[in-house]
With several copies, the nearest count.
Chain A
């Protein structure tokens, strides 16, 4: 791990409470949007589970590409095309290294986590799930990891099973042996819940899946951005995430898959780079990863994703995680000290990522969201694309504050003050 560059503090402890590893002020200076004022107040951006902000290094990667290198990739013999291809493939290699994928070809570029999940459902699972088989997900999934499986199960006459979530916000692992059984073909679980923050025991689930000959898909949309993730250590068969949730641009995501699985899968889309040879009668497919990348890829955003990965690697993912753990502990403490508040998910901050979802007895989440926005504070309100989970708590909407590398304790204080300020209207 490098210890130079913006955002890295080499001195042992410049702030005794927080930022021991991460120089948050240096990090913040890399994010142009953080100097924006919202409603005359400094922006306090706590909507990171929805999407994160971008450092100047990522924005510059885009600008530089379009100003100096832009060309279509693959098959071009001219300089720009060669440079663009090299940069595009280098970004893939960076991402592979970031998640410890054994080979760059096992990293497929998609649009986002949702497309990655749909891809696996429509190809691997479509080919392997049959009548009477089952698919196992959890009760805390994002819609994108529910609906493709509902549809597949309906189409195949297969069963969709849910691992339950306990009152403590943790996955109920007691009867995974009966739920994940010999008819299970795929287990698809979120690594970190975008509502509860819960970190799920994915290695254990992978183990069980493999015991019964199933594959495991990990929705890492909320983990890869926030903690060190090693696909080989977890023994993930498939793993998905989105660049926009990890300092990268919108419009690009990743599907990692084990080589042999990807290799035997039929393509998802047809055309352009995914083809080896076409006659008027027939076509043959290109090798991995291109088999899954039909048409002109999102070249610029792939390269910018490489820059995001560089940025995070420089910070060190252990430091990112540590920073968020400290914020979460502080945030849980402060928010739960307020009256009228119920927080969803694990009480112990050590069991969760940097996500705090809560409801206020007297203030509807949308009113709270609007009132906080007046004070420059951006949180998300609603069902967080996890309607069934949110409803299981007896509500239809919740407020959610979620943290990232540039957030500070001071911002959490602003949130808490903001809630108090809003109570002036709603609590008599």
Chain B
């Protein structure tokens, strides 16, 4: 294609068709609920994993603490500040991983990444993600995907590192 707009051929665009209605997809009730009342915000005593994740560009920052018993995440605390998406995503993550084995967490992080990228996620995986499905509206707002992923990527990496020790 060498048409007049060839310089623009592959623009990703925002991918959303427009109007305020789209916002309903992004800010579902579940997300607003987790944003306003984040779960698992209590500090964890002598955590096995204790990390700060942040995105200096938007200022989101979260403090993630985990207790790991053998192969199981026994306790989670996540506090911080960020936009509705990063905040709700962190809260949903905390809720999800508590009591899960490392391989379950790994699987969840992988499925969540795929969900946001619009790649294939099986029904079984979807079911395990539970309420987190509410975040799939973020797909229509690609620039906000990094908000949704911030704590997930941090926690996933930290857990791998911890287990590798």
Contacts and interface: CB of A to CB of B under 8 A. Distances in A.
Interface of A: 5-7, 37-41, 56-58, 60-61, 64-65, 69, 74-77, 79, 82-83, 86-87, 90-91, 276-277, 303-304, 306-307, 310-311, 314, 364-367, 370-371, 373-375, 381-383, 387, 395-397, 421, 425-426, 428
Interface residues of B, number: 42
A65 B18 contact: no
B7 A57 contact: yes
Contacts of B1: 5, 310
Interface in B127-157: 141-144, 147
Interface of B: 1-14, 16-20, 22-23, 26-27, 32, 36, 56-61, 81-85, 87, 141-144, 147
Contact of B7 (A41, A79, A91, A371): A91
A225 to B, nearest CB: 18
Contact of B2 (A39, A314, A387): A314
27 contacts: A6-B2, A38-B18, A39-B14, A39-B17, A39-B18, A40-B19, A61-B5, A64-B4, A64-B5, A64-B7, A65-B7, A79-B14, A82-B13, A82-B143, A86-B10, A87-B11, A91-B7, A276-B56, A277-B56, A306-B7, A364-B83, A367-B84, A374-B23, A381-B58, A383-B59, A387-B56, A426-B27
Contact of A311 (B2, B26, B147): B2
A283 to B, nearest CB: 11
Nearest to A398: B59
B108 to A, nearest CB: 25
Given A64-B4, A64-B7, A366-B83, 5 more contacts: A6-B2, A40-B18, A41-B18, A77-B143, A307-B7
A70 to B, nearest CB: 12
B57 to A, nearest CB: 5
B11 to A, nearest CB: 5
Contacts of A90: 9-11
Contacts of A64: 4-5, 7-8
Contact of B22 (A65, A374, A428): A374
Nearest to B19: A40
A382 B58 contact: yes
> Which 3 pairs show the lowest CB-CB distances between chains A and B?
A396-B59, A61-B7, A39-B18
Contacts of A91: 7
Nearest to A373: B14
Contacts of B12: 82-83, 86
A311 B12 CA distance: 21
B47 to A, nearest CB: 24
Nearest to B22: A374
